[in-house]
Structure 1
Amino acid sequence: MKRTALAGLFMSAAMLASPVFAADNDLCTSKLQELKAKVNALPATPDNTTMEIKRLLASAEASKASGDDKKCATEATQALSMTH
C-alpha cells in the first residue's frame, strides 16, 4: 500500500509540474515572436542598445534551442524592456 501511495504522489507531482513547463515554453515563444517583430522594426543604426537587444535575442533563441525556456523568456523580456 505504501508503494501505491508513493507512486500516486510522484504521478501527481509530475502532472502538476508539467503545466509550469508548458507555461514557460509558451511565454518564451510569445516573447520571442514579439521581440523579433520589434527588432525588425528597429532603425538600422548600430548603437549600443540595438546591439544589446540583438545579442539578447540571439541568446534567448539559443536558450530555447537548448530547452531552457525560463532563461529564454527572461532574456526576451529583458530585451523587450529595452525597446520601449
Structure 2
Amino acid sequence: MKRFAMLIVAALLTAPVFAADLCDINLQKLEDALATQAPNGDTATQQVEQLKAKAEEAKVVGDTEGCINNSNKALQVLENSDKGGGGIS
C-alpha cells in the first residue's frame, strides 16, 4: 500500500513538469512549422500566429494550461490547413 501511495504522490508531483514540457514542445513545433512555411498571409497562418502569441503570453504569466490549449489549437489549425481544411472555429 505504501508503494502505491508513493507512486501516486510521485505522479502528482511530476504532472506539472510534463505540462510545462508539453507547452515548450508545442511552441517549438509551431516555431519550426512557421519557419518552414512561405509567408503568404493566409487566414490559417494569421490564426496560428495569433494563437502562438496567446500561448507565449500564457507561458510568461505561468498559465501552463492556457499555453497548452492555445498551442494545441494552433497545431490543429496547421494540421487542418495542410489537409486543405483551413482554420478552426
What TM-score, normalized by structure 1, do the two folds share? 0.76
Give the deviation of 1:43 after TM superposition: 1.9
**Pairing 1:71–2:66 present:** yes
1:81 maps to which residue? 76
User: Which residue, 36, 41, 44 being the options, matches 2:36?
Assistant: 41
Q: Percent identity?
A: 25
The residue correspondences of 1:1-84 to structure 2 (distance < 5 A) are 16-84=11-79
Partner Cα distance (2:30, 2:73) in 1: 10
The code of the aligned residue for 2:48 comes to I
Q: Which amino acid aligns with 1:24?
A: A
Give aligned pairs, total.
74
User: How far apart are 1:18 and its partner, in Å?
Assistant: 2.4
* Structure 1 residue 81, shift from structure 2 partner: 1.2
- One-letter amino acid matched to 2:29: E
Provide the alpha-carbon RMSD of the alignment.
Answer: 2.0
5+ residue gaps, structure 2, are: 1-7, 80-89
Q: Comparing both chains, which one has the higher relative contact order based on Cα–Cα distances under 8 Å and sequence gaps of 6 or more?
A: 1
Structure 1: where are the runs of 5+ without partners?
Answer: 1-12
- Secondary structure of 1:73's aligned partner: helix
Q: Which has the higher helix share?
A: 1
Give the residue type in structure 2 aligned to 1:47: D
1:6 corresponds to? none
- 1:36-69 superposed Cα distances (whole Å, 9 cap, x missing partner): 1001112211111110000001110011111111
